[in-house]
């Protein structure tokens, strides 16, 4: 995508707008080291980690997604872009988690069975940690047993599920139905997210809420946990 010879380009000479644009190109081209360097440059320029994440990385991946959809990019190229994005996120993760926010509660989160997309889930995990939640990340491709076992073992306030495919999103209902069958559905707040979902779907499968993005996930989680604490205090 980029017309500039990457070897000749000194990223630090670019102004902020040019650098962000270059990062979109570098993400598109799967250039991991360039992404890492550019993330560090923006942080040195006092950019907030959240702005680096959303304006440079998430926006870059949005562009990749469009060309993937349109058949211009294919799986191998998108994998490289995803790896470059993850490298940038690795630098940002501790900074986002370091906010000193008071402890809010605990969340177990995982991508559902059949689905290996994890960038969005990882982003939600990072933002939740930054907001003061302890996060147990189950990774990708989780069968219902993984969720049930993790709920029993970690006793979280929230179960988060992620799905990026229209073919895998129905699996969220399998998990929620299993929770109902085991009589534990009401013990947890169930939040779901992923690009193909919407509020109507979340309601139809019996989740508590659909979260459009990581920021909404944090706000929704805080709201539901506060509500649960108030209910418990009222019942005591
Ligand atoms: Co895939 N892929 N992919 N892919 N991929 C999509 C999802 C797709 C929309 C691309 C397209 O056609 N436009 C399409 C799905 C079409 C559909 O189902 N309708 C698709 C396809 C078809 C496929 C394959 C089937 C391709 C193939 O093999 N032919 C295959 C399936 C593999 C599988 O899972 N079984 C596949 C594979 C891959 C890669 C491995 C190459 C790679 C994943 C790498 C990785 O994740 N480690 C990949 C990628 C990168 C994408 C796109 C381009 C980008 C996804 C992403 O990371 N977005 C994606 C296109 C798109 O979504 N526009 C696409 C950035 C991320 C920050 O956003 O994940 O939406 P997102 O997360 C957001 C919110 O959704 C929300 O918050 C996040 C942060 O703000 N959120 C939650 C997400 N999870 C949440 C959980 C919560 C709360 C909020 O819990 C509380």
Beta bridge partners of 209: 191
DSSP H or E run through 120: helix 119-130
- Asked whether the whole model's pTM tops 0.95, one would answer no
Chain CA centroid to CA 128, Å: 9
Q: Give the per-residue pLDDT at 233.
A: 80
Tell me the pairing of strands 209-211 and 158-162.
unpaired
Q: Which two tokens stand for residue 197?
A: 């979902």
Which ligand 1 atom sits closest to the C-alpha of 117? 46
Q: What confidence tens digit (pLDDT) does each residue in 148-193 have? A: 999 999 999 999 999 999 999 999 999 999 999 999 999 999 999 9
Q: Which residues have any ligand 1 atom within 6 Å of their CB?
A: 58, 61, 64-65, 68-69, 75, 78-79, 82, 109, 114-121, 123-124, 160-162, 164-166, 191-196, 211, 213-214, 217
Cα separation, 172 vs 197, in Å, equals 11
Q: Which atom of ligand 1 is nearest to the CA of 191?
A: 91
Would you write out the chain's pLDDT as a tens digit for each of its 236 residues? Answer: 444 555 678 999 999 999 999 999 999 999 999 999 999 999 999 999 999 999 999 999 999 999 999 999 999 999 999 999 999 999 999 998 887 778 889 999 999 999 999 999 999 999 999 899 999 999 999 999 999 999 999 999 999 999 999 999 999 999 999 999 999 999 999 999 999 999 999 999 999 999 999 999 999 999 999 998 888 887 77
Decide if 49 contacts 22 (C-beta within 8 A).
no
Measured distance CA(44)–CA(13) in Å, rounded: 13
Residue 7 is predicted with a pLDDT of 61
| Distance of alpha carbon 120 from alpha carbon 61, whole angstroms | 10
Mutating to test ligand 1, I would choose from 28, 65, 202, 223 the residue with most ligand atoms within 8 A of its C-beta, which is 65
The C-alpha atoms of residue 108 and residue 175 are separated, in whole angstroms, by 13
């Amino acid at each position: 995508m980029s017309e500039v010879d990457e070897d000749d380009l000194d990223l630090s000479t670019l102004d902020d707008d040019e650098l962000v644009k270059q990062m979109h190109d570098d993400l598109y081209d799967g250039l991991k080291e360039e992404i890492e360097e550019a993330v560090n440059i923006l942080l040195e320029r006092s950019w907030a980690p959240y702005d680096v994440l959303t304006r440079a990385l998430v926006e870059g991946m949005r562009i990749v997604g469009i060309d993937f959809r349109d058949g211009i990019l294919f799986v191998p190229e998108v994998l490289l872009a995803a790896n470059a994005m993850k490298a940038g996120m690795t630098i940002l993760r501790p900074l986002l988690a370091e906010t000193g926010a008071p402890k809010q509660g605990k969340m177990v989160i995982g991508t559902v069975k059949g689905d290996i997309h994890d960038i969005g889930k990882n982003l939600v995990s990072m933002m939740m940690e930054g907001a003061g939640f302890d996060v147990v990340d189950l990774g990708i491709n989780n069968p219902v047993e993984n969720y049930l076992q993790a709920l029993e073992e970690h006793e979280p306030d929230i179960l988060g599920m992620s799905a990026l495919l229209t073919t895998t999103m129905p699996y969220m209902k399998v998990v929620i139905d299993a929770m109902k069958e085991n009589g534990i559905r009401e013990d947890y707040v169930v939040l779901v997210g992923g690009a193909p979902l919407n509020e109507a779907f979340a309601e139809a499968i019996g989740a508590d809420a659909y979260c459009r993005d990581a920021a909404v996930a944090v706000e929704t989680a805080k709201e539901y946990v506060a509500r649960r604490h108030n209910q418990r205090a009222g019942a005591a």
